[in-house]
């Protein structure tokens, strides 16, 4: 048992979505730091929080808990490196709205690949949601190509693919605890980002605002949201959690509009609305199957 009621679990998941929605605004505040510099410092902020969380969850045996995941922890961590880097790059090169709407396709990518990878049957409702979502993605990507933001859109879809690979890896290995893989992903991201920054001859030195906000993202908005979401999903069904977590996708463009004067184009709003509709359709389909 989770120790939380359904209502408490729902509030925790909503809180996670709210915290995650701040990432786009924080990336705008970071300033001119490059993708790999932000990834380096953000991942540094994640590691101590994740390690302390695993230490508490494992009863003081964090390394035993990490080793128990086996190769799936490493494979899932590699997927997260792609997800993290793609998310940062896309938010820096296209609008926050465009990026987060495309990130939201990750659950549907996971569902589409669940059959060939895991042998899981995909229901008609999910296939319908995937078809509808494809239309929304097409609308947004088409606009991005026209505006010269094609790489940002590709990076956003790559990020969604990375999150999907992470999820599929853990499900294939039947791992119920995802935190060790997230910690592994953060450690790998530090190594990869450090290597890229060094090879490109860039500096690790950033203004105070750059590295401090990046580490704040890792420690608070990424890890804090994940801890709230993990706790909340132990009290409510996955389909309900998926619906509630969409608050992240809805609020992220609002923060940059309010505090950064970043507007949403007509095609992004249309494509995002179609994609959100598909996600809601998929979640409702999941609730129907459970009933």
pLDDT (tens digit per residue) in 38-58: 999 999 999 999 999 999 999
Residue 117 pLDDT = 87
238 falls in which pLDDT band (50, 70, 90)? confident
Percent of the chain at pLDDT > 70 equals 95
CA distance readout (Å), 68 to 59, 168, 187, 262: 14, 18, 17, 45
Query: Given a cut of 80, is residue 98 above it in pLDDT?
Result: yes
Query: Given a cut of 70, is residue 103 above it in pLDDT?
Result: yes
Interval 149-165 mean pLDDT: 91
Residue for token digits 């510099």?
Answer: 37
2 falls in which pLDDT band (50, 70, 90)? low
Residue 3 pLDDT = 74
pTM over 0.95: no
Query: Given a cut of 80, is residue 148 above it in pLDDT?
Result: no
Residue 1 pLDDT = 43
Residue 45 pLDDT = 97
87 falls in which pLDDT band (50, 70, 90)? very high
Interval 26-43 mean pLDDT: 95
Residue 146 pLDDT = 67
6 falls in which pLDDT band (50, 70, 90)? confident
Residue 291 pLDDT = 46
């Amino acid at each position: 048992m989770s120790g939380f009621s359904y209502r408490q679990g729902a509030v925790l998941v909503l809180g996670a979505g709210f915290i995650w929605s701040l990432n786009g605004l924080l990336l705008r505040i970071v300033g001119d730091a490059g993708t790999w510099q932000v990834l380096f410092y953000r991942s540094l902020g994640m590691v101590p929080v994740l390690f302390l969380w695993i230490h508490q969850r494992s009863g003081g045996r964090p390394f035993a808990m990490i080793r128990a995941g086996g190769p799936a922890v490493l494979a899932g961590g590699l997927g997260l490196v792609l997800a993290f880097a793609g998310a940062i790059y896309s938010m820096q090169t296209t609008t926050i709205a465009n990026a987060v709407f495309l990130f939201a396709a990750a659950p549907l990518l996971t569902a589409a690949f669940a059959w060939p990878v895991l042998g899981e049957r995909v229901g008609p409702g999910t296939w319908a949601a995937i078809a509808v979502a494809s239309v929304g993605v097409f609308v947004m990507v088409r606009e991005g190509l026209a505006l010269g933001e094609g790489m940002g859109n590709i990076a956003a879809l790559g990020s969604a693919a990375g999150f999907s690979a992470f999820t599929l890896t853990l499900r294939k290995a039947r791992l119920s605890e995802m935190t060790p893989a997230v910690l592994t992903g953060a450690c790998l991201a530090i190594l990869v980002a450090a290597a890229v920054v060094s090879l490109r001859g860039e500096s690790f030195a950033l203004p105070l605002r750059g590295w401090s906000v990046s580490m704040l993202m890792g420690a608070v908005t990424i890890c804090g949201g994940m801890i709230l979401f993990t706790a909340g999903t132990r009290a409510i069904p996955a389909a309900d959690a998926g619906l509630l977590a969409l608050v992240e996708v809805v609020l992220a463009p609002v923060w940059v509009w309010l505090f950064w004067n970043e507007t949403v184009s007509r095609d992004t709003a249309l494509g995002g609305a179609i994609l959100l509709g598909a996600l809601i359709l998929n979640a409702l389909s999941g609730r129907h199957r459970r009933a």
